[in-house]
């Protein structure tokens, strides 16, 4: 973990750790430094993962949840798009 930071001494003679990835300076606090590394190393899933794997999994969970419900509400909304065409949206909601 420590190789991800450059160490320097600040004007108050305290150690500061500068992240090599984002140049953010952090105080000497091992927990905070580890959290910073875990957050900065987070990778957003690729388009394929969102459009196929995650979306399909979420869809299946949603369908199962909706099928288990006994009460539904149909909600609609309408507006004009940039081309002045009417767009109407319908959505079924449940009390969960």
Spatial CB neighbours of 26, under 8 Å, sequence gap ≥ 6 = 5, 16, 17, 18, 19, 32, 33, 36
Confidence of residue 82 (pLDDT cuts 50, 70, 90): very high
Which residues on adjacent β-strands are paired with residue 89? 77
Binned at pLDDT 50, 70 and 90, residue 83 comes out as very high
Portion of the chain with pLDDT greater than 90, in percent: 18
Residue by residue, DSSP assigns 5-62 as EEEEE-TTS-EEEEETTT--EEES-HHHHHHHHHHHT--PPPHHIIIIIIHHHHHHHH
- Residue 26: CB atoms within 10 Å: 15
Q: Quick check: 41 pLDDT over 70? A: no
Report in angstroms the alpha-carbon separations of 45 from 8, 42, 52, 58. 35, 9, 11, 15
The domains of the chain are located at 2-40, 47-93
Residue 52: its pLDDT value, please?
78
pLDDT of residue 51: 75
């Amino acid at each position: 973990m420590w190789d991800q930071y450059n160490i320097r001494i600040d004007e108050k003679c305290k150690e500061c750790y500068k992240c090599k990835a984002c140049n953010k300076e952090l105080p000497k606090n091992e927990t905070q430094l580890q959290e910073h590394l875990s957050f900065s190393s987070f990778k957003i899933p690729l388009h394929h993962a969102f459009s196929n794997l995650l979306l399909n999994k979420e869809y299946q969970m949603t369908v199962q949840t909706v099928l288990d419900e006994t009460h539904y509400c149909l909600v609609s909304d309408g507006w004009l798009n940039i081309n002045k065409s009417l767009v109407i949206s319908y959505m079924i909601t449940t009390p969960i």
